[in-house]
Amino acid sequence: MAMGRPRLGRTANVDVPVTPELKQEFQDACNEAGRSMTDVANELFALWVAQRQKAPKQQPLPLMDLKKAS
């Protein structure tokens, strides 16, 4: 996959609230790999969508209550 930002006209902003720690870990991992966060996020979204399209349709799992899980 090409490095850099997506071509103009093919962008979409996705606002996803994550913990500051998770964002920092993601940013550090991208920097370590020499990749932009945008490129890695695009690849992760594409991979997730492709896997969902291959998988048999299932009922979505209920959201986990992280406070109860810890």
Q: What is the mean pLDDT of residues 12-20?
A: 86
Confidence of residue 15 (pLDDT cuts 50, 70, 90): confident
Domains of the chain plus CATH, in order, are: 18-54 (1.10.1220.10)
* Predicted pLDDT of residue 57: 73
Write down the pTM of the prediction. Answer: 0.59
Q: What is the 3-state secondary structure (H, E, C) of the chain?
A: CCCCCCCCCCCCCCCCCCCHHHHHHHHHHHHHHCCCHHHHHHHHHHHHHHHHHHCCCCCCCCCCCHHHHC
Task: Say whether pLDDT at 9 is over 90.
Answer: no
* Predicted pLDDT of residue 1: 45
Mean pLDDT of the chain: 81
